[in-house]
Amino acid sequence: MMKRILWLALVWVIALPLWSEVKNTCVECHQQAEEEELRVPVEQWKTSIHYKGGISCSDCHGGDPKQEDEDLAMSEETGFVGVPEDTEIPDFCGKCHSAVRDNYMQSAHAEALLADEDGPTCVTCHTAHEQQRASLDLINEDLCGTCHDYDQALRLKEAMRAMEGDLISMEARVEALFSEGLDVESEQRALFAVRNRTHRLTHVLDIDRILLELGSVRADLMKLDSRVTEQENIVRNRKRVGTILIVFFLLAAVLARMYYHSLKEEYLKTHGGGGSEEPPTQSS
Ligand code: HEC
Ligand code: HEC
Ligand code: HEC
Ligand code: HEC
Ligand code: HEC
């Protein structure tokens, strides 16, 4: 009996934190809501990169996801924000994406937003609940052509595209070094920094400024390039030495075999073996 109680207590102690971790009243209540407007965000969020990254309702909206009660879960004291004003959205998302927000805030888009014109917010381009991994494909006529002509958007895309290509090929080179077993941690870190500087730059929009900054990003990439080239030479030399060693051993093996055969022949000749494979016995 005592044993059973202990077992139950153990299960309880282990399961409780797991259970409260999984338990999320925002999701539970909203996915059962009758109003579509309350329910749909859950379905959309489940397709998003945030869902995969473990970012949940309350990470964006605040509130307490452990409260069953609607009013307690969404109380002001827990910092709950329902639907942010358009002008609040950059800070709403920017509490996690601060570097992107800072670049966005310098753009003509933010200027238009704050001037009460139709400047797009983060949500206009990335949606509120269905954010996916971002790429230059987001710059397309359907989205960017709604408020102004597509030409300036396309110029931006082309300026970024060239850089993107260089980054992708550098990524592949660093990856190859990594799989050769080289220590490329500092290269990976440098690449990550260059990559981040590039991608958030898109939000600045101002092409002249972007081209200027891409110049300095490119300088960093060139530095990285020479370091990576050095590492690649190490790999190449290592492979060359490896090949030479293999050839050497093969050659040595062949020579040893030839030497053995000539010794054997010599022996057979001097001991008059006459082609017999049997080794001569000691007594003969
Ligand atoms: C027991 C049910 C219940 C729980 C738990 C709950 N909600 Fe709600 N939520 C509602 C209902 C009903 C509404 C619509 C009425 C309202 O605005 O109060 C709503 C509205 C909202 C809105 C829109 C607000 C607006 O101003 O239009 C957001 C955003 C929201 N909930 C997020 C959350 C988050 C985040 C959590 C968890 C911390 C949460 N909810 C927990 C039932 C719930
Ligand atoms: C990445 C941040 C983020 C996450 C995560 C998130 N929301 Fe939202 N949510 C927003 C934003 C931003 C808006 C305002 C959209 C707008 O202004 O068009 C919003 C609006 C809403 C609304 C109002 C109706 C609507 O669609 O505009 C509800 C309800 C809501 N969210 C519920 C939820 C629930 C429930 C979850 C978790 C399943 C959740 N949200 C997760 C950012 C988020
Ligand atoms: C006009 C459309 C637009 C607006 C407004 C916008 N973005 Fe983006 N965002 C993009 C595009 C396009 C990319 C892809 C850039 C690239 O690949 O170089 C991107 C990339 C991103 C990335 C990925 C960056 C990376 O390192 O790969 C994040 C995060 C992001 N945006 C968040 C935000 C946030 C937060 C806001 C609001 C402060 C915002 N975006 C406003 C279009 C937009
Ligand atoms: C609580 C922190 C948090 C908030 C608030 C938040 N995000 Fe994110 N976001 C993340 C994390 C973490 C990731 C990376 C997830 C991953 O890579 O698995 C991410 C990824 C993204 C990406 C993809 C980035 C890429 O590498 O391509 C976009 C776009 C994005 N978020 C937009 C938004 C927008 C728009 C908002 C506001 C509506 C927002 N985020 C609010 C934490 C947050
Ligand atoms: C909701 C409306 C809206 C959407 C959607 C929109 N823009 Fe804009 N954009 C503006 C406004 C407003 C301005 C400032 C006035 C102007 O130049 O037309 C602007 C200006 C620009 C500029 C000029 C910036 C400068 O400094 O001269 C570029 C480039 C640009 N947008 C690119 C984009 C791209 C790329 C997209 C799609 C990913 C996009 N825009 C989507 C409203 C929008």
Q: Are residues 138 and 235 in the same domain?
A: yes
Domain that holds residue 37: 19-70
Q: Ligand 5 pocket, 118 CB below 6 A?
A: yes
Contacts of 196 (CB under 8 A, 6+ apart): 99
Residue 234 lies in a domain: yes
Q: Are 210 and 204 within 8 A, CB to CB?
A: yes
Q: Ligand 2 pocket, 41 CB below 6 A?
A: yes
Residue 281 lies in a domain: no
Q: Are 230 and 187 within 8 A, CB to CB?
A: no
pLDDT in tens, 11-65: 665 555 455 456 899 999 999 999 999 999 999 999 999 999 999 999 999 999 9
Residue 158 lies in a domain: yes
C-alpha separations of 124 from 31, 90, 118, 146, 150 in Å:
24, 11, 10, 11, 16
Percent of the chain's residues with pLDDT above 70:
88
Q: Ligand 4 pocket, 138 CB below 6 A?
A: no
**What is the Å distance from ligand 2's center to 205 Cα?**
27
Report pLDDT for 10: 62
Over residues 254-266, mean pLDDT: 91
* CA end-to-end span of the chain: 88
Report pLDDT for 173: 94
Q: Are residues 121 and 141 in the same domain?
A: no
Over residues 80-102, mean pLDDT: 96
Q: Are 38 and 58 within 8 A, CB to CB?
A: no
Query: Which residue CA neighbors atom 42 of ligand 3 most closely?
Result: 125
Q: Ligand 1 pocket, 25 CB below 6 A?
A: yes
pLDDT in tens, 141-188: 999 999 999 999 999 999 899 889 999 999 999 999 999 998 999 999
Q: Ligand 3 pocket, 246 CB below 6 A?
A: no
Q: Ligand 2 pocket, 136 CB below 6 A?
A: no
The type of residue at 241 is V
Q: Are residues 139 and 105 in the same domain?
A: no
Percent of the chain's residues with pLDDT above 90:
71
134: helix, coil or strand? coil
Q: Are residues 104 and 158 in the same domain?
A: no
Q: Ligand 3 pocket, 157 CB below 6 A?
A: no
Query: Which residue CA neighbors atom 12 of ligand 5 most closely?
Result: 119
Q: Are residues 96 and 188 in the same domain?
A: no
Q: Are residues 112 and 176 in the same domain?
A: no
Residue 75 lies in a domain: no
> For residue 276, is pLDDT > 60?
no
Q: Are 73 and 25 within 8 A, CB to CB?
A: yes
Residue 98 lies in a domain: yes
C-alpha separations of 120 from 110, 129, 207 in Å:
8, 16, 18
CA dihedral 173, 175, 161, 209 (to 10 degrees): -90
Q: Are residues 148 and 228 in the same domain?
A: yes
Q: Ligand 5 pocket, 112 CB below 6 A?
A: yes
**What is the Å distance from ligand 3's center to 110 Cα?**
13
Report pLDDT for 1: 58
Q: Are residues 144 and 198 in the same domain?
A: yes
In total, how many domains does the chain have? 3
> For residue 191, is pLDDT > 90?
yes
Q: Are 95 and 61 within 8 A, CB to CB?
A: no
**What is the Å distance from ligand 1's center to 124 Cα?**
22
pLDDT in tens, 195-236: 988 988 899 999 999 999 999 999 999 999 999 999 999 989
Query: Which residue CA neighbors atom 21 of ligand 1 most closely?
Result: 82
Query: Given pLDDT bands bounded at 50, 70 and 90, which one contains residue 274?
Result: low
Q: Are residues 157 and 187 in the same domain?
A: yes
Q: Are residues 231 and 168 in the same domain?
A: yes
Q: Are 63 and 73 within 8 A, CB to CB?
A: yes
Q: Are residues 213 and 156 in the same domain?
A: yes
- Ligand 5 pocket mutation pick from 126, 127, 205, 213 by most atoms within 8 angstroms of CB: 205
Q: Are residues 39 and 99 in the same domain?
A: no
Q: Compute the distance between CA of residue 97 and CA of residue 53 in angstroms, rounded to an integer.
A: 14
